[in-house]
Structure 1
């Protein structure tokens, strides 16, 4: 079938530019890849501050909702789906994250609000959250049965999904993550170092699951002479329940030079990546919150950074153990400190991991993931 005869794709998300994070990156890149392949794509996204919208290869409708999962937000999104039901009957409705899924769960009993095709993507934590309560478990099962295709970014997440919702087993495909388009364009640009120290960089929202505190403690356990050669840079905002205050208090007592950058624009983040020597993200399970994959690990590898992380969730699918970085069992603080020590003391090993990481990060493309998800859906 000619591309221009294929049904349009309507991508609904609460996490889209200027929101940062793995889900926002996934939504943006999948929409871009589908549009670049000639598909008709329209993104419906949360409200955003009055600033210049980036140039997208597809139209973006900013909805009058803040993008949370509370009742008001879900009701407004459900109303949008009802209002545009005739357009959706001719198109592919793509729900790449849990917020829009919850809205659609409430509408799935009304036959008049059925898209031509329904596509879902699960990332990890929402699987456990939807399964925990009987009502959302039942609604999720119904939604998956109605879906034409389901995807995950990692085998770990697929296994987690199928174990909780067996209905997904025969309709789930793997849509691997890839480098952000901006990273591919700018990763090779050299930048002068601001410091003669070895820089350990963490990028991620300030949340206990992201493990910044564990990285800080592992670095603080290094010998004083080693600590004197280091700087620990923490990038990220959205602090959870005073977590940033705890981090700052421990940083002040750590004997390390620790810099907090908060949320930074893409151009500044690229600069920080190019000045760093080691990337660290020691994620852990935190209640129902799990690390389903971690696009940021690919981003770090694409910038030539050796990685230190935890062997947990889908992380071993983003980091090749002992090839692009070190993965340590969660809770093994001695081994975590030893992993940092090896990379700090061995410049050759850092270069070896960096070279392997660059190749590894480029093995997948968003274009291929979009083809896997949308091809044959006519």
Structure 2
């Protein structure tokens, strides 16, 4: 069957390039993977069309800020594309676009899928709870990015019969000519053991607490240790505390850790691959905050794809992204003493995880596998079918 004769899917999401982050990468791959099987259209953020290689007639855009312009713009764009493209199914990339997806799905009498992340459930804003959560609950099918997000969804009265767990994917085609030695030379790291943190600078990532509670002890016992922090402020997020970078810089200076902690800011994918390959451990000391939760932990799987293990707190959806003793180590939340001990044991060689073990774990999360599992969720909705019970797609 020609692609033009295939069922039509409209992806409605705020999270696409040119915005940067794990959710943006996820939604981009949702578009790419479903596009192999179905005819696709998008209602997405301004500037996304050039990243999608899609026909202009199948993309409608909206502003991402301020919040009021985003909400109204997403509804207009979804309605415009829905009425012109006439999809057979709507897929919302997060709860933030669920109202827009719900309105056009109801108008056309077609199924609605919403992909849920941790913040889609725990956000406490009154208007969100009164407008967005009802639209989420009205979805024909819901996908969560981790088992923890699924538990949160069930606790917020979302029907288990409509729920699937599908973890985000990872790029397994790691370049062979990464040259980690060149990266070390560029940052003047020499042979020092490198701890790496990757992600947007948000309070939830727990870097301030890690520096305060762990770095002094790590430096005492491993005087040449170096922490590299990759990522910038979450300026594109709908709600995120700003100024984390300034707070970290001031704390590093006050604690005389400038020779042990470096903030690299945002770097491109090629240099990030170098950073993964040049490091000894990825750190993921995330916090469970009121109204904020780590939905999954894609960077831990990305690190594993490069053969790099992760030490992280077992908070939020992180346990789905780290296999104990296989791709890293899980530490009880907020146990900084155990976090330091685990890092030092690994650096000393007392405990080891092989690169092959990490890569084998990551392979189960390949984007190709993700696409197959997502298609298995989508396809029953494109023909009459009973609701399926909650299903995990590891």
Which TM-score tier does this pair reach, normalised by the shorter chain?
A: 0.7 to 0.9
The question of whether the paired residues in 1 share the 8 Å contact of 2:170 and 2:302 is answered with yes
CA distance in 2, matches of 1:178, 1:16: 15
CA distance in 2, matches of 1:299, 1:13: 23
The question of whether the paired residues in 1 share the 8 Å contact of 2:41 and 2:59 is answered with no
Deviation at 1:313, TM superposition (A): 1.2
**What is the CA deviation profile of residues 79-138 of structure 1, one whole-angstrom value per residue up to 9, with x for unaligned ones?**
223333424643321101133124446x47x95x33522111101112111xx3565435
Query: What is the root-mean-square deviation of aligned Cα atoms in Å?
Result: 2.7
Q: Which position in structure 1 is the counterpart of 2:151?
A: 159
TM value normalised by structure 2: 0.83
Residue 167 (structure 2) aligned to one of 169, 176, 185: 176
Q: How many residues align?
A: 362
**What is the CA deviation profile of residues 305-342 of structure 1, one whole-angstrom value per residue up to 9, with x for unaligned ones?**
11111011111111012332121122211111111111
The question of whether the paired residues in 1 share the 8 Å contact of 2:201 and 2:232 is answered with yes
Q: Which position in structure 2 is the counterpart of 1:122?
A: 116
Query: Which segment is superposed worse, 368-377 or 147-156?
Result: 368-377
Once the two structures are superposed, the pairs formed by residues 169-318 of structure 1 within 5 Å of their partners are 169-180=160-171, 184-193=172-181, 194=184, 195-217=190-212, 218-224=214-220, 226-228=222-224, 230-238=225-233, 240-252=241-253, 253-255=255-257, 256-318=259-321
CA distance in 1, matches of 2:299, 2:84: 35
CA distance in 1, matches of 2:114, 2:373: 14
Deviation at 1:57, TM superposition (A): 6.0
TM value normalised by structure 1: 0.86
Q: Which position in structure 1 is the counterpart of 2:10?
A: 10
Q: Which position in structure 1 is the counterpart of 2:344?
A: 341
The question of whether the paired residues in 2 share the 8 Å contact of 1:43 and 1:59 is answered with no
Query: Which segment is superposed worse, 201-210 or 38-47?
Result: 38-47
Show structure 1 runs of 5+ residues with no match: none
